[in-house]
Amino acid sequence: MTRSDSAPSPAYDELPRLEELGARHSWDHFGRDDELGTMGRVTDAKVIESLAEAVDGRRINLTLPVGTIDPPFYGREAVELRFLQTDRNTWDDRLDSLYPQGGSQWDGLRHVRAREFGYYGGRLADPPDLGAEIGIQRWAERGILTRGVLLDVDAHFRRAGAPLDALEPVAVTAQTLRRTAQEQGVELREGDVLCVRFGWLAAYRAMSRSEREHYAASRPLLRYAGLAADEEMAAYLWDNRLAGVALDNPAAEVSPGDPRVGSLHRRLIPLLGFAIGELFDFEELASACAADGRWSFLLVSVPLDVVGGVGSPANAVAVR
């Protein structure tokens, strides 16, 4: 596969199946560019096509300020900004305890392994021994510049008269995503990044300090709405030939999950090579899209160029 020609994409049901995991994989699909995973669908031609999504030039930041999630989730330390005076007229700064995946971020292909079957492509070594393979630098080399499509699931539930509580473990199905897209009159195209708003960030921002402390302390069982973790969801995302999926909740799939259903992270990252974005800020974007009924945009995101990195801050902007 070249940067201008993507390989034909088989349907999910045509992919090889790992019966032990009850899921399919795309390890033989992307060829010599397999380290890009689904980001390989952002070809040169896709970039040129996506530039047409910038109509009026309005730029909307999709990345939370560093330290917004406070207290941090999943036992992480709080980030600390330090100022350093190097001489009488010059200052530097330093971020201590920065977790690249602690705010608006991309999960790279090293983030999750498929148990004994390894990381994407069947790579069995763990990150310290993987060298540079499937590191976040592969996405940073050319950045992420493609068409984004926002599905406002929160608004979909409100229209139906049954508001979604984003702080409860509601599993949003593939059928709900289809219906939301139909209501909004938007279609998904190959190489798009699908963006999904559950309203989680708005709910989090409405919490008091004490409520945030209680919420963060509930690990490992943070409660929030998210994508259903079933095989139907994996098939929906794969069959739409997406480059990635970005969401406004902490970890994409519903939490707590159901072990009987399985892990969407495992289905998507090590098996299908998907890029997953989490904790994206879609609040201003959703308002802008609803105002003019235009739900697609130019998505620009440049991950940190950390060789062998597991994930990266999103550094993402929507251009309308």
> Does the pLDDT value for residue 260 go beyond 70?
yes
Q: What's the pLDDT score for residue 98?
A: 86
Q: What's the pLDDT score for residue 7?
A: 56
Span 280-318, pLDDT tens digits: 999 999 999 999 999 999 999 999 999 999 999 999 999
Round to whole Å and give the CA distance between 40 and 31: 10
At a CB cut-off of 8 Å and minimum separation 6, what does 289 contact?
A: 150, 152, 295, 297
**With bands split at pLDDT 50, 70 and 90, how would you rate the model's confidence at 219?**
low
Best CA proximity match to 255, nearest among 280, 294, 224, 214:
224
- How many percent of the chain have pLDDT more than 90? 87
Provide DSSP, 214-260.
Answer: HHHTTTT---B-EE--SHHHHHHHHHTT-SEEEESSSSSB-BS--TT
Amino acid letter, residue 212: R
Amino acid letter, residue 21: L
Span 141-163, pLDDT tens digits: 999 999 999 999 999 999 999 99
Full set of structural domains in the chain with CATH:
12-319 (3.50.30.50)
Q: What is the mean pLDDT of residues 238-253?
A: 97
Return the number of other C-beta atoms located less than 10 Å from residue 41's C-beta.
Answer: 24
> Does the pLDDT value for residue 257 go beyond 90?
yes
Q: What's the pLDDT score for residue 296?
A: 98
Instruction: Find out whether 249 and 198 touch, Cβ atoms under 8 Å.
Output: yes
Return the number of other C-beta atoms located less than 10 Å from residue 14's C-beta.
Answer: 9
Round to whole Å and give the CA distance between 278 and 195: 10
Q: Which residue has the tokens 């890029």?
A: 275
Span 160-190, pLDDT tens digits: 999 999 999 999 999 999 999 999 999 999 9
Span 193-212, pLDDT tens digits: 999 999 999 999 999 999 99
**With bands split at pLDDT 50, 70 and 90, how would you rate the model's confidence at 6?**
low
Span 15-24, pLDDT tens digits: 999 999 989 9
